[in-house]
Structure 1
Amino acid sequence: MDKNAKGIQYMQEGKWEEAAGLFMEAIEENPLDTVAYINFGNVLSAVGETEKALKFYDKAIDLDKGAGAAYYSKGNLFYELERFEEAKAMFEHAMKNGLQSGDNFFMLGMTLLQLDQGKLAIPYFQRSTELLEEDAEARFQYGLVLAREQYIDEAVKQLEKCIAIDPSHADALYNLGVAYGFKENAEKALEMFEQALDVQPDHLLAAHGKKLIQESMG
């Protein structure tokens, strides 16, 4: 196993210092190894050293203008810093440089949501769910944006797929209840609110939705 692969394994185990050490060794052995710079930046980002992380991502991009993973990592960092315009630009650069991953499409969709561009986010969430078929969160966010843009029937389909993947996703159950309420299917809405409360008894929005539906049903 090479040092980058071993370092990633350490990152997955939360062993940040060990990971950083291996990535630094990889850089010293091959100063043109863009992957090592990206990985080291990811460690720095994970431990809150954001400015240092940006320098390593920029170094990777200087070495290889087509390093899609560097743009993606830089986009994630900008997203965490709530610098959404810059995040959007990075995810778009990643895509243009060949990073056609479900995660990149998902994060571009999330960024567009933060920029109040929900309609523009829809195709990116759609593509993310095509590539990440079993990712409950991708389905959830896709369902939410469809609902916000008034595509209620499509939203219901995605939220149902979300809870098929993760039956304990209380927010998806709650939003399904809202969608069924919008469709004037009170019984189904009540069922969804009750399921959300079974999963998360302190889900205040689900409790409120249940109360409203029960009042409307008399």
Structure 2
Amino acid sequence: MTLIETGIKYMQEENYEMAVKAFHDAIEIEPQNPIGYINFGHVLAHLNDYQRAEEFYNQAIALDSKAATAYYGLGNIAFELKKYKQALRFYKEALDLGLTEADVYFMIGLAHINREEVKQALPFFMRATELQPYDNEVAMQYGLTLAELSEFEKAREVFDRVVKSQPTHADARYNRALADLFLEKTDQAMKDLEHVLTIEPNHTLAQGTLMQIKTLLDQ
């Protein structure tokens, strides 16, 4: 096992002190290898030492201008610092350099959402969902974006898939119920809202929505 592989293993085990040592040693042995700098940057970013993490990512890029993962790391730092426009620039650079994993598309979508650019976010969440069809976090964000754009039929289909894969996912059931309300499927919506409250009795949004429906029906 190489020092970099050892460092990654330590990171997975959340032993960050040993991960730092492994990556430091890897850089000492191979100072021209950008991978060591990138992984050192990952550890520092995880520890919220963003300034030093940026330095290591930039060192990696200085050694390899096509180091896509370094750009992705810089994007994540910018995102955490709420510099969403800058984050988008780094993420798209990573995409252009071939880093076409679901996480990149997902983070681009989130950056657009934080800039209140809902339409721009949609295709990136769609692509992330295509690449990770069983990731419910990705699916939920895709469904919420569809709903925000009044694509209620499509949004309902997405929430429905989440519910089928995870029947106790209260938020997926709640949002499926909201989609049903917009689609004038009131009975189905009420059943979902009641089910949400069996899963999470203190789900205030479900409580409030169900009360509003019952009030309207009683009038």
* Bigger mean CA offset, 208-217 vs 15-24: 208-217
1:68-217 residue pairs with structure 2 within 5 A? 68-217=68-217
Deviation track 1:78-113 (CA, whole Å, cap 9, x = no partner) reads: 111111111111110010010010010010011111
Kindly state the Cα deviation for residue 217 of structure 1 after the two structures are TM-superposed: 3.0
1:26 aligns with 2:26: yes
2:54 match: secondary structure: helix
Q: Which amino acid aligns with 2:53?
A: A
Query: What secondary structure, in the 3-state scheme, does the structure 1 residue paired with 2:116 have?
Result: coil
Please say which of residues 181-190 and 166-175 is displaced more in the overlay. Answer: 166-175
Q: 1:3 maps to which residue?
A: 3
Matching residue's letter, 2:4: N
TM-score of the two chains, using structure 1 as the length reference: 0.96
Q: 1:149 to 1:73 in 2, by over 3 A?
A: same
Name which of structure 1's ranges 140-149 and 67-76 shifts more when overlaid on structure 2: 67-76
Report the AA paired with residue 46 of structure 1.
H
Cross-structure match for 2:38: 38
- Flag structure 2 segments of 5+ consecutive residues without an equivalent: none
The runs of 5 or more residues in structure 1 that have no matched partner are none
Do the aligned residues in 2 keep the contact of 1:84 with 1:111 (CA within 8 Å)? yes
User: Could you say which residue in structure 2 is the equivalent of 1:58?
Assistant: 58
Give 1:118 shift: 0.7
Change (3 A) 1:164 1:74: farther
Change beyond 3 A, Cα 1:144–1:63: same
Q: Is the 8 A contact 1:68 1:94 kept in 2?
A: yes
**Could you tell me how far 1:4 is from its partner in structure 2?**
1.5
Partners of 2:15 and 2:89 in 1: how far apart?
31
1:30-76 Cα offsets, whole Å, 9 max, x none, are 01221111111111111111111111111111111111111111111
Q: CA deviation at 1:187?
A: 1.2
C-alpha deviation, 1:197, in angstroms: 2.1
Query: Structure 1 vs Structure 2: percent identity of aligned residues?
Result: 36
For the aligned residue pairs, the C-alpha RMSD in angstroms reads 1.2
Structure 1 SS opposite 2:99: coil
1:198 Cα shift? Answer: 2.3
8 Å CA contact 1:137, 1:162 repeated in 2: no
**Which residue pairs with 2:14 in the alignment?**
14
Q: CA deviation at 1:172?
A: 1.8
Instruction: Say whether the 8 Å CA contact 1:119–1:149 is kept in structure 2.
Output: yes
Q: Is the 8 A contact 1:19 1:43 kept in 2?
A: yes
Q: Distance in 2 between matches of 1:197 and 1:71?
A: 43
Aligned pairs, number: 218
CA contact (8 A) 1:7 1:22 kept: yes
Q: Distance in 2 between matches of 1:195 and 1:58?
A: 50
Query: 1:62 and 1:165, CA in 2 relative to 1: closer, same or farther beyond 3 A?
Result: farther
Give the aligned residue type for 1:160: D
